[in-house]
Amino acid sequence: MSTWAIGDLQGCYDATQRLLERIRFDPAADTLWFCGDLVNRGGQSLETLRLVHSLRERSVVVLGNHDLSLLAIGERPPAEKRKVNPDLQRVVLAEDSGELLGWLRRQKLVHADRALGWMMVHAGLAPQWTTQHAEQYAGEIEQQLRGDGYRGLLRNMYGDRPNWSSGLRGHDRWRATINWFTRARYCTPRGRIAIEEKGPPGTQAAGLYPWYEAPGRVERDLKIVCGHWSTLGLTLTQGIHAIDTGAVWGGKLTALQLDSEELRVVQVPGRDVQALPPHLRRE
């Protein structure tokens, strides 16, 4: 029995199948942790979502920014759905879209396994958040997504402000929380996210730090595995294990075994962007 965390799929179905074969995934015994952003850009989002849905009894999923965006698109009128990119159109207009999106909406923002010693999040945690804080704040969002208030949350989740504060309430609080869990890369020591900064460390503006290196950050009692930051590449440091290695951009798709004494990393080639027409290589 093995537990594997897998980086951002982003609709790369073929690469996902290659990786499952490479790790010899056994659905009768093994468990998969998906770090979010199951869909968008890869051209095979519908197939990818159907695959992960079929593995739901043997997997855990945390939502990424692209997954939440897909849920919001799924609530639009049919004419508006046809205005999004073809990859997501195939999902929201599919015959089984209701089942797929209903399942996706009930997934987590954070997953913690204290017996295993790991926490999974798509992007990051605010410097002042313990793992217990993260579970609490994620639970607030998950309750909204799974209840009658999910449409209001999806309509109001977009925006870069306000900055996180424990005194926030309602949609401002949920938006600030979602931004940390699904969009964070760099921040200030006081926890202001610099969402516009997307490059690798060393390219950011002065006074900004990778979220996991912010001065004054709290000590955390679990190792963290995350995705979201493809330009960071494979990074295994300071209790942080970032495994989005840019499969959708022609990089690799990465799996990290969580229950082995030594970290075991398995990678396969991602999407073949050179085989695509030029206008599709950077959506």
DSSP letter for each residue of the chain: --EEEE---TT-HHHHHHHHHHTT--TTT-EEEE-S--SSSSS-HHHHHHHHHHTGGGEEEB--HHHHHHHHHHTS-HHHHTTS-HHHHHHHTSTTHHHHHHHHHTSBSEEEETTTTEEEESS---TT--HHHHHHHHHHHHHHHHSTTHHHHHHH--SS-SPP-TT--HHHHHHHHHHHHHH-SEE-TT--B-TT--S-TTSSPTT-EEGGG-TTPPP-SSEEEE---TTT-SEEETTEEE---BGGGTSEEEEEESSSSS-EEEEEE---GGGS-GGGS--
Low-confidence ranges of the chain (pLDDT < 50): 277, 279-283
Which of 246, 247, 265, 245 lies closest to 255 in space, CA to CA?
265
Give backbone dihedrals phi and psi of 197, rounded to 5 degrees, phi first: -85, 120
Which of 271, 224, 248 lies closest to 130 in space, CA to CA?
224
CA distances (Å), origin 68, targets 32, 108, 202, 258: 20, 11, 29, 26
Q: Note the pLDDT tens digit of each residue in 173-204.
A: 999 999 999 999 999 998 999 999 999 999 99
187: Cβ contacts below 8 Å, ≥ 6 apart: 124, 126, 127, 193, 194, 208, 209, 211, 214
| Distance, CA of 122 to CA of 62 (rounded, Å) | 6
Rg (CA), the chain: 18
Give pLDDT, residue 1. Answer: 87
Spatial contact of 230 and 249, defined as CB atoms under 8 Å apart = yes
Which of 37, 34, 28 lies closest to 59 in space, CA to CA?
34
Which domains does the chain show, CATH number per domain? 31-245 (3.60.21.10)
Q: Which two tokens stand for residue 225?
A: 């595995």
Give pLDDT, residue 105. Answer: 98
Give pLDDT, residue 21. Answer: 98
Give pLDDT, residue 59. Answer: 98
Q: Which two tokens stand for residue 151?
A: 């449409």
Give pLDDT, residue 283. Answer: 42
Give pLDDT, residue 281. Answer: 47
